[in-house]
Amino acid sequence: MQESHDRSAYDPRAVEAAAQQFWSDTHAFEVKEDAARQKYYCLSMLPYPSGALHMGHVRNYTIGDVISRFQRMQGKNVLQPMGWDAFGLPAENAAIKRGIPPAKWTRQNIAHMREQLHAMGFAIDWSREFATCDPDYYVHEQRMFVRLFQKGLVYRKDSIVNWDPVDQTVLANEQVVDGRGWRSGALVEKREIPQWFLKITAYAQELLDGLDQLPGWPDAVKIMQRNWLGRSEGLQLRFDVEGGGAIEVFTTRPDTLMGVTYLAVAAEHPLALEAAKHNPALRQFIDDCRQGGVSEAELETREKRGVDTGLFALHPVTGERIPIWIANFVLMGYGTGALMAVPGHDQRDWEFATRYDLPIKMVIVSDPVRDAIRELGRDAADNTDAMSAALGQSQAIDVAEPRPVAEVLAEFENRIITEGPFTGHGTLVNSGRYDGMNYRRAFDALARRFEHENRGKRQVNWRLRDWGVSRQRYWGCPIPVIYCPKCGAVPVPEDQLPVKLPEDVAFSGVRSPLKSDPEWRKCSCPKCGGAAERETDTFDTFMESSWYYARYTSPGAATQLDARADYWLPVDQYIGGIEHAILHLLYFRFYHKLLRDAGLVHSDEPATNLLCQGMVIAETYFRMDASGNKTWINPADVDVQRDPKGRVVGATLKADGRPVSIGATEKMSKSKNNGVDPQLMIDRYGADTVRLFSMFAAPPDQSLEWNEAGVEGMARFLRRFWREVVNIAGSPPTVSLPPLAGEGARKADGGAGAGTLSAAQKAFRRQLHETIGKVTDDIGRRRNFNTAIAALMELLNVVSKFTDASAAGQALRREALEAMVLLLNPFTPHACHALWQALGHPEALLEDVPWPRVDAAALERASVTLAVQVNGKLRGTVEVAPDAPRERLEAAARALPGVINAIAGKAVRKVVIVPGKVVSIVAN
RNA sequence: GCCCGGGUGGCGAAACCGGUAGACGCAGGGGACUUAAAAUCCCCCGGCCUUGCGGCCAUGCGGGUUCGAUUCCCGCCCCGGGCACCA
């Protein structure tokens, strides 16, 4: 016994090395197109090669691998590729810090991380691997850009960036910390420079409509994208300016037009700049607006400020004089850079008007107020109650005495002025001939009027802006454009592509080597042959990550894609972090439509199913010094103390045994030093245990708290499972008990074979087949891997306790454990690979071995348990035949002592029976 | 600020379509085995009351709908993600 224990003990290191060697030697995961088989393209977002695998990668790629291996066991032709999102800012930072060229640093990181991915045992087709910094990859991106240029989907315009006046460089939002440059500490300024744009807005409507064709995407992502696209129907309208000129505004609420009390323009608006020429105070305000970063979060949380230009616009209906203000919350980039402010019916306009003491007018009343007014108009004497109730609902007005309509309106207006705007749709008042109209009618009437006067037009506006793809950085794909003094911006001819990024460069300071190298940019104009210069900006790295999924299907193709793309695309399952819900996933969808319109793919959307996994979080520990600075301590270096109930009462540093403070549980990060190194975990427990824990500890879309004791629990489970399987491995692979053979048995004798089992044997087998059903559904449909694993643990507990030594009992054990090896294979493929062999199977546990099937006959039950409630409280349960009639259920329920007590002295009013679930008795 | 998501025992979580709240695992307590440790196995484990049977309370907070709400609706509080150079 002792000897066999030693021989058969679970040794993850040896098991995993052998399985990985086998998969590698047999090219087990390299796939090719096969029209005869159903394809399944399972894709995880490609990693940025930051240096080492982190737990977020482990989680992401384990989810993808579980789905891939599961689908493969369903007989599908599964593609699971991997590559590297190799361009980006961190490589430049590393270059500055350590003096290593970004290309070298990046390729070193890739080599290391590739080894780590191998050690996780992912079923990846490595023959398709590429890095986005390979010229063979980005040449196609450059060619696509040139073609989009020719199609008119690319343009250049001035755009605002964060400018660091000390380092003389453009900063990413990430590099702006509290309005200052992260390296120089200088106050960041806004600066306008010319940049390249892709016309994603030309696809806005299609991107919106396409969301309805994606039932396999999470609602949260679709809602976020819908809001991001931000379709709004409104009116673009011209206000004449007193003394000449005009301002165009866009409004989604033309019905509030008569409530306009001021106009607000952006600081960069031409009218603002013109007015500032003769007004130092305006000049000063506009200059102040240039300070600070450009991110939306920063702008939106900034204090709303403005200044009066002293100019007036003329109201397009009344001719009234309307003051024009410059306001820091109006941005030049959205709509027309100017807006009509209606403080009575818009929150932000109201706050601004209140601050600067601008008039507030009521021109819309809520429906309850309108109804009350109508009642008053009919019978002014006696409708106090109705009016009071109506006003009470909307604005809480006390109406003690009947009053004329004008007084009610005045009260409502007073509420708006003092308490806040009424921003809902309602009925127009104080609007002359538009009085009494609702939103829709007023919108139409005003639109017709202004279209007729040639003063305005109906317009659909989008929140979505065109995609600015220029970055003033070195480590990116060069934008293939040449600037000629005579011919202007000329795309690089396709036969001169790629424009290669020089990789052997030295970073002297923060400036891009492309920009400081006078030679690289020199070239001749493709049109006139004269001396010209190259663009030194590179693409936004979202460009590379927008089409990599397609390139995996056509490795080595001379063109961007070839016919193989049609076999594999679209992606069947895409997996990545929720943080990419908007930007990446929108560009990804957009680029797919660009590929489609170039004839390279033949579908409308790139991925049919999307899974967004949550973050990996961990506890934080720190010590604070006298001046309040925190030193963060890694969880691996800490011991935790508990009270007898298991509650955490303190923590100490392993090194000195003295206490440390316990911080929040948050996302693993370098700054909080709470990252757990996956490599350490693999070395200590093996990849299968790490995979199993990362799938068990939380459902994939929630955050996952890393907890090493939990990992040990998984190791315990795997050891037990290993032992159970090895214990039966000596018995013959097929114990001769035909009635147990599921499918075959039912064909042979209609399932009657199971009838020869004892009640305990039947219960055992039912649990097995319920588990097969649950695990299949949890992985295949629900993507709840944690509950699939829990069900398998439960089953193992049952198997361990099932000591039936009869022939039938042994056969049942074998059936259960063979099925479990298959069911666990997606999670712990190395151990299952070894155990499948140990069970005497000659073939490798790959697609040749089909997923276990549920035997419907095994699921039959002799009885079901129903909950019995009295007045909503549980008073007992009854066990009855599944087809027991209603009367018998009620009688059985009423016979329960708990029920008799609960209904004593009461009359039963109602009995609700939900078959298979509950008997609910209402008594009083 | 805006958009999206989440809040259930000491902890991670489960309850899938409104039907027995806490499966599974961790931590903890008690025991077995062992010279000892590790490993393994068995029992207990939301709170309060009760010798026991059992009862009451409990899914962030306050309301509502329902025979019945962790689940649906309304209003709050707290935590997390995103915000594209540029409502």
CA of A670 to C1' of B27 (A): 27
The residue lying closest to nucleotide B2, measuring its CA against C1', is A300
- Alpha carbon distances (Å) from A30 to A125, A541, A575, A591, A767: 5, 28, 20, 27, 37
Give A385-411 pLDDT, tens digit per residue.
Answer: 444 444 433 333 444 445 567 777 888
Q: Kindly write down the DSSP assignment for every residue of A408-421, as one continuous string.
A: HHHHHHHHHHHH--
Closest alpha carbon to A608 in A211, A226, A228, A227:
A211
Residue A732 in 3-state DSSP?
Answer: coil
Strand nucleotide closest to residue A898 (CA to C1'): B54
The residue lying closest to nucleotide B10, measuring its CA against C1', is A647
Strand spans (E) along A142-271: 154-164, 169-171, 176-177, 180-181, 189-198, 232-241, 246-251, 262-265
Q: Which ranges of A255-318 does DSSP label H, i.e. alpha helix?
A: 270-276, 280-289, 296-301
Does residue A738 have a cis peptide bond before it, meaning omega lies within 30 degrees of 0? no
Q: Which residues of A494-505 are buried (b: 16+ CB within 10 A; e: fewer)?
A: eeebbbebeeeb
CA of A674 to C1' of B70 (A): 32
Residue A770 · residue A776 · CB < 8 Å = no
CA of A715 to C1' of B35 (A): 29
- The CA-based angle A661-A666-A671, given to 5 degrees, is 75
The residue lying closest to nucleotide B23, measuring its CA against C1', is A790
- Alpha carbon distances (Å) from A156 to A143, A785, A871: 17, 48, 70
Q: Are strands A616-624 and A704-705 parallel, antiparallel or unpaired?
A: parallel
Strand nucleotide closest to residue A709 (CA to C1'): B26
* Helix A807-824 vs helix A829-838: crossing angle, to nearest 10: 150
What nucleotides of chain B have any atom within 7 angstroms of a protein Cβ?
1-6, 10-16, 19-21, 23-29, 39-42, 54-56, 67-69, 80-87
Strand nucleotide closest to residue A796 (CA to C1'): B24
A357: left (phi over 0), alpha (psi -120 to 50) or beta: left
Distance CA A256, CA A206 (A): 31
Q: Are strands A573-577 and A610-613 parallel, antiparallel or unpaired?
A: parallel
Distance CA A538, CA A557 (A): 24
CA of A294 to C1' of B54 (A): 66
| Confidence (pLDDT) at A722 | 95
Distance CA A19, CA A25 (A): 10
CA of A162 to C1' of B85 (A): 6
Strand nucleotide closest to residue A191 (CA to C1'): B85
Strand nucleotide closest to residue A463 (CA to C1'): B87
The residue lying closest to nucleotide B3, measuring its CA against C1', is A224
Residue type, A685: Y
Residue A498 · residue A558 · CB < 8 Å = no
Distance CA A633, CA A140 (A): 46
Strand nucleotide closest to residue A329 (CA to C1'): B87
| Confidence (pLDDT) at A184 | 80
DSSP state of A211: G
Strand nucleotide closest to residue A266 (CA to C1'): B87
CA of A861 to C1' of B57 (A): 36
Task: Compute the 3-state secondary structure of chain A and give helix, strand, coil in percent, each to the nearest 5.
Answer: 45, 20, 35
Closest alpha carbon to A255 in A439, A421, A120, A75:
A439
Q: How many CB atoms lie within 10 A of CB A392?
A: 14
Residue A792 · residue A820 · CB < 8 Å = yes
CA of A719 to C1' of B43 (A): 22
Distance CA A348, CA A355 (A): 11
Residue type, A121: G
CA of A908 to C1' of B55 (A): 22
| Confidence (pLDDT) at A371 | 76
Give A825-850 pLDDT, tens digit per residue.
Answer: 999 999 999 999 999 998 998 867 89
Strand nucleotide closest to residue A461 (CA to C1'): B87
DSSP state of A571: B
Strand nucleotide closest to residue A919 (CA to C1'): B19
| Confidence (pLDDT) at A397 | 41
CA of A717 to C1' of B43 (A): 20
Strand nucleotide closest to residue A465 (CA to C1'): B84
The residue lying closest to nucleotide B14, measuring its CA against C1', is A787
Task: Provide the β-strand partners of residue A322.
Answer: A313
CA of A55 to C1' of B27 (A): 23
CA of A218 to C1' of B62 (A): 31
- pLDDT < 50: residue spans in chain A: 1-6, 379-401, 736-754
Helix (H) / strand (E) element for A364: namely: strand A364-365
Residue A591 · residue A585 · CB < 8 Å = no
- Residue A704 corresponds to which tokens in the numbers above? 């996952």
CA of A17 to C1' of B12 (A): 30
- Alpha carbon distances (Å) from A512 to A101, A109, A112, A538: 12, 22, 27, 10
Give A97-123 pLDDT, tens digit per residue.
Answer: 888 899 999 999 999 999 999 999 999
The residue lying closest to nucleotide B16, measuring its CA against C1', is A782
Strand nucleotide closest to residue A877 (CA to C1'): B20
Task: Provide the β-strand partners of residue A240.
Answer: A246, A314
Q: Are strands A39-44 and A573-577 parallel, antiparallel or unpaired?
A: parallel
pTM, 2 dp: 0.91
Residue keyed to tokens 């008119």: A152
CA of A94 to C1' of B86 (A): 29
DSSP state of A110: H
Strand nucleotide closest to residue A334 (CA to C1'): B87
Q: Which phi and psi (to 5°) does residue A325 adopt? A: -115, 155
| Confidence (pLDDT) at A549 | 97
Give the side-chain half-sphere CA count within 13 A for A807.
Answer: 9
The residue lying closest to nucleotide B84, measuring its CA against C1', is A583
The residue lying closest to nucleotide B45, measuring its CA against C1', is A645
CA of A797 to C1' of B23 (A): 13
DSSP state of A31: -
Residue keyed to tokens 């068990």: A696
CA of A392 to C1' of B77 (A): 26
| Confidence (pLDDT) at A509 | 66
Distance CA A328, CA A775 (A): 56
Residue A587 · residue A594 · CB < 8 Å = no
ipTM for the whole complex: 0.95
Q: Kindly write down the DSSP assignment for every residue of A511-527, as one continuous string.
A: S-HHHH-TTTTEEE-TT
Strand nucleotide closest to residue A464 (CA to C1'): B84
CA of A892 to C1' of B57 (A): 29
